[in-house]
Amino acid sequence: MEPWIILSVAAAAFQTLRFMLQKQLSLGALSAGGATFARFAYSAPLVVTGVAAYLGTTGTPLPALAPGFWAYALTGGLTQVLATWCVVALFAARNFAVGITFKKTEVILTALVGLVVLGDRIGLLALCAIVLGLIGVLVLSDNAGMPGLSLRRVANRAAGLGLASGAFFAVSAVCYRGATLAVGSEDALLRAGVALAAVTTSQVIGMAIWLAYRESGQLAAVWRARRVALWMGVSSMGGSLCWFTAFTLQNAALVFAVGQIEVIFSLAVSLLVFRERLTGREGLGIALLTGSILALVVLA
């Protein structure tokens, strides 16, 4: 098996582990905001230390940053925080596997944003894939507990959180690409590391100020939850490292295609760890949305 495939699967596994730990914290010791902050608070020191070690061992000076770097980095950091917050809040409304699948709408929403903002043309097959994904989202968001057919069956809080997380993740991905391109280096790994270090540091500072103002008790709670939160930081760092390394070895579309195995991992976690039952309707929705995402990635 080629190295980029192993790295893609490992990245998906790390990401599933991180979200699993976030769900555990959000259902117990921490609020959605606290669980979101913990992810960045315990990963930022690891990222910064890793970049410093890389610069030191290779003898490379810190690269220059183009004027637009901080605008991209801060916008991407803010939208990623909002996206992660939405996902954590979604875990309290729906089961783990459904929450992860809702997050995957970021691929579909990125295609739609490209069409509206950049005028990117979408072929017939890609359009069919988007429609398939829309059907999957509607099936997933359907509130079967409500009688009859009505807009309220699909226009519910879980659907809103899921779609919002996908939209925010789509924006953050575009901004992160802009930030990495604004780093003055030919080393792709160094560009990614410097951008990631800047983003995670700004996220920690920004969220710490926000929580101190709105949820002051959560800062202490994040420290008390360090035995679990530390591993969340490690898994976050591991996932990012695997993703970026895989991107240097293979086309990003193929890496993402393999990375969709995260949905399967999330199903296993949902059933084996959280003991959640997956309904036939939710299974169908996950299958439709996963098929749509894979089709879009292959057609990209």
* CA distance linking residue 197 with residue 130, whole number of Å: 34
What does the pLDDT read at residue 31?
76
Structure tokens, 243: 């993703």
89, amino acid identity = A
Domain boundaries, the chain: 3-299
pLDDT at 95: 56
Give the pLDDT confidence score for residue 98 in this predicted structure: 61
- Six-digit token pair at 146? 């409500």
Which pLDDT belongs to residue 69? 92
pLDDT score at 185: 84
In the prediction, which pLDDT does 149 show? 44
| Ramachandran area for residue 63 (φ above 0: left; ψ -120 to 50: alpha; else beta) | beta
DSSP letter for 215, please: -
pLDDT along the chain (300 residues), means of 10: 77 80 68 79 89 91 91 88 79 59 66 60 68 67 48 57 80 77 82 86 92 86 82 81 67 60 71 69 73 66
Backbone angles phi, psi at 104, to 5 degrees: -70, -10
What are the CA-CA distances from residue 31 to residues 24, 26, 89, 90, 221 (Å)? 11, 5, 9, 12, 9
